Structure 1
Amino acid sequence: MAIQPSILVLNGPNLNMLGTREPQIYGAETLDDVEALCQTEAARLSVDLEFRQSNHEGELVTWIQEARGEHDAIVLNAGAYTHTSVAIMDALSAVDLPVIEVHLSNIFRREPFRHHSYVSMVARGVICGLGSHGYVLALQAACRLIDAANRPGA
């Protein structure tokens, strides 16, 4: 029996405030709602899912580093660290796992400083502007990348 693939979903600063923080931008769903949606999709895709959130850059870096050998892909909404963290970019590059970057809002329809992403420089794909459904699409994309990597001759 094959071991199920595992995906780590990481959420950065202020995402714990979903549902109350700027609902006109981020919607009314809470992070618990997003996690429940992800767990449902993970079960449908037959993958293990670990879902975490931190407001601390160093903790996110540590979790990314620990993902190597524990998970097969990372889905990351780095929040504001998307636009500022070389440390997160370097950690993602070092673990050599497929990364899907996700954002609830369309960062390209917002302030100009949000248009740059350090995460995008190492991510295999970016999904933004689709609200919590972006996480579902990110999980599906991560599963496709995992499947492709596990095919004979890959």
Structure 2
Amino acid sequence: MSRGPASLKRRRLVAGMAGLLALPSVLLSRPAQAKFSIIDPLIWSVTKGGQMERGRIRLELPQLADNGNSVAMKVSVASPMTEADHVKAIHLISEKNPVREMASFYIGPRAGRAEIVSRVRLAGSQEVLAIAALSDGSFWYDIADIVVTLSACLDEP
């Protein structure tokens, strides 16, 4: 059985198709740090190099805000809030605000539930990152996109 140029072309085609099929899983498995390279130092200060996973935390911001001075925000974490399994902290990090570390909320098992409702100032359209630090040492994140028509936070600190 001879292996001519047609056989080699088929093998390259099959190998290329396998590589293309694997590409989405490689891209989706990249950590949030790759997406937020400008705020890597803040992410590292929260996680101390620990791996973040998506899920368990939900960051809710409106898709469009007319004014960045006061934007409604809600963060909730799926946690039983027991002594053995609870949320220790929730951190909000901004992609474009002059002060990128927007807020850190420290809570414990006696809080009853891990939920923060507040208003935030945003310096323009951006992505906001929420990180939950749990008592078992794991870190969970969520990202919310928001379009802001009138920016706030334009003064330097």
Considering only CA atoms, is the larger Rg found in Structure 1 or Structure 2?
2
TM-score (norm 2): 0.24
Give the structure with the larger strand fraction: 2
Give the structure with the larger helix fraction: 1
